[in-house]
Amino acid sequence: MFAPLAAESDGMGAIVETAIFSQWMQRTSFIPYYARWKNGEVDLVNISRKTNRPDWAVEIKWSNRYFEAPNELKSLSSFCEENKLKQALVTSIDKSGMKEFNNIQIQYLPAAVYAYNVGKNTLESQI
């Protein structure tokens, strides 16, 4: 099931989600979605206009834990597997790098860097 985005309310994690979502919301041609099902969810999903299927996914975290333990990203992993996505992005506090788990390339990026990049790219696309 896909639905328009709604930020969770769990302290710093909610603030980080809001910061990232607010950068995406500046794009008039982009509709952010999240995926939610009985045993999981993924924070940010893009639905391809051509295929009406997810073509990328982002899990917004305010933790470095998942950099060392990608196996704990069960919802993201099952979402990628189900939708045949070969890569995904996970934000962190300050860890960056690439790891492979269950044949999925997971790119880790600090949440502040990701929010900055989305905002910068949005501004540049409007010039």
**Per-residue pLDDT tens for 42-90?**
999 999 999 999 999 999 999 999 999 999 999 999 999 999 999 999 9
Tell me how far apart the alpha carbons of residues 7 and 116 are, in angstroms, rounded to a whole number: 19
| Domain-embedded: residue 57 | yes
* Predicted confidence (pLDDT) per residue in 8-45, tens digit: 445 898 899 999 999 999 888 888 899 999 999 999 99
Can you tell me the distance from the alpha carbon of 42 to that of 23, in angstroms, rounded to the nearest whole number? 18
Q: Look at residue 67 and tell me if it is in a domain.
A: yes
Q: What percent of the chain has pLDDT over 90?
A: 78
**Which pTM does this prediction carry?**
0.88
Q: Provide the domain limits for residue 51.
A: 2-122
CA gap 92, 1 in Å, rounded: 26
- Torsion angle (degrees, nearest 10) of CA 115, 74, 72, 47: -10
Residue 127 in any domain: the answer is no
Task: Assess if residue 116 is contained within a domain.
Answer: yes
Report percent pLDDT > 70 for the chain: 92
DSSP reduced 3-state for 7: coil
- The total domain count for the chain is 1
The domain that holds 111 is classified in CATH as: 3.40.1350
Residue 99 in domain: yes
pLDDT at 15: 93
